């Protein structure tokens, strides 16, 4: 039985890891394949986490779609597998917009904790949580700390847009925002048919600030700095921006993985 499963896995994936033509998604693999791959050939898993939330003239699922696209890229580069996305997150000030709703921070923390524990029990040494939505960060971190303390897994939680804020500055010369220039550019690359420039008006964007909060936030686009981050729909810039985002995230994750490895935990 054991020899047969090894032979099967080698036939499907080859001796050097997951075969390029085969899926890296846990959704698509069978138990025999997972057993042979993890942890012998694959030690790292990517977990996209997002939410359903209004994103200006882009899709409500932007916070799921961008991390999923990043996971697809990173999985190839890092010889990783991809766990099914946690698609519901913690929403706050945009809940009045159609098709926008979330779950509580407590529920997300509990859900993430159980999913992370399951991935650790599967045998992954490294779990990379690719977060697409700001208010998820605290509950995801809380879950990561619990699972790190109680299993052998090492966990990195990363907000893709924060980790690449300097890329926004370099490519566009300004900062972005929620569904702003940067996130819209990512959506133009990841889900081009779901971005609708014909629906866009600059007055659909409002700067975030420290002086007031509004529920709902008055527009579905929120800017990090006044006068910056308005959408431009330039496809070339969007491609350049997202290519840099991918590389930057790869560099950050690689660096953490290497340091974990060197540190022995």
CB neighbour list of residue 2: distance below 8 Å, 6 or more residues apart: none
Burial class (CB in 10 A: 0-12, 13-18, 19+), 65: buried
Q: Which position's Cβ is nearest Zn ion? A: 63
* Closest CB 199 distance from Zn ion, rounded Å: 17
Q: Name the residue nearer to Zn ion (CB basis): 64 or 126.
A: 64
Q: Name the residue nearer to Zn ion (CB basis): 238 or 257.
A: 238
Q: Are 64 and 132 in contact (CB under 8 A)?
A: yes
Q: Name the residue nearer to Zn ion (CB basis): 33 or 67.
A: 67
* Closest CB 258 distance from Zn ion, rounded Å: 29
Which of the ranges 54-62, 107-115, 123-131, 227-235 carries the binding residues for Zn ion, by CB under 5 A? 54-62
Which of the ranges 62-70, 98-106, 222-230, 247-255 carries the binding residues for Zn ion, by CB under 5 A? 62-70
Nearest to 91 by CA among 124, 150, 51: 51
Three-point CA angle 100, 102, 106, nearest 5°: 165
* Closest CB 235 distance from Zn ion, rounded Å: 20
If binding is defined by CB under 5 A, does position 36 make contact with Zn ion?
no
**Candidate residues 33, 36, 63, 228; the one interacting with Zn ion per rule CB under 5 A:** 63
Q: Pairing between strand 44-49 and 80-82? A: parallel
If binding is defined by CB under 5 A, does position 68 make contact with Zn ion?
no
Q: Are 102 and 88 in contact (CB under 8 A)?
A: yes
State the residues that interact with Zn ion by CB under 5 A: 62-63
């Amino acid at each position: 039985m054991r020899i047969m499963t090894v032979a099967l896995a080698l036939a499907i994936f080859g001796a050097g890891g997951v075969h390029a033509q085969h899926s890296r998604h846990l959704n698509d693999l069978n138990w025999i394949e997972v057993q042979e791959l993890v942890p012998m050939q694959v030690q790292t898993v990517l977990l996209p986490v997002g939410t359903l939330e209004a994103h200006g003239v882009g899709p409500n699922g932007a916070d799921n779609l961008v991390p999923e696209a990043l996971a697809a890229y990173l999985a190839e580069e890092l010889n990783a597998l991809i766990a099914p996305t946690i698609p519901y997150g913690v929403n706050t000030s945009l809940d009045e917009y159609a098709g926008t709703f979330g779950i509580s921070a407590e529920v997300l923390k509990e859900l993430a904790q159980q999913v992370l524990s399951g991935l650790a029990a599967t045998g992954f040494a490294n779990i990379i949580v690719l977060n697409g939505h700001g208010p998820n960060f605290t509950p995801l971190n809380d879950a990561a700390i619990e699972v790190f303390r109680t299993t052998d897994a090492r966990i990195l939680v990363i907000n893709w847009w924060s980790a690449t804020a300097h890329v926004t500055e370099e490519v566009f010369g300004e900062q972005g925002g929620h569904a702003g220039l940067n996130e819209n550019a990512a959506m133009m690359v990841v889900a081009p048919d779901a971005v609708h420039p014909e629906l866009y008006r600059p007055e659909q964007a409002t700067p975030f600030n420290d002086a007031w909060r509004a529920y709902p936030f008055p527009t579905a686009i929120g800017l990090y700095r006044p006068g910056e981050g308005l959408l431009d729909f330039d496809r070339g810039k969007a491609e350049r921006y997202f290519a840099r985002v991918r590389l930057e995230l790869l560099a950050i994750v690689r660096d953490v993985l290497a340091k974990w490895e060197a540190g022995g935990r």
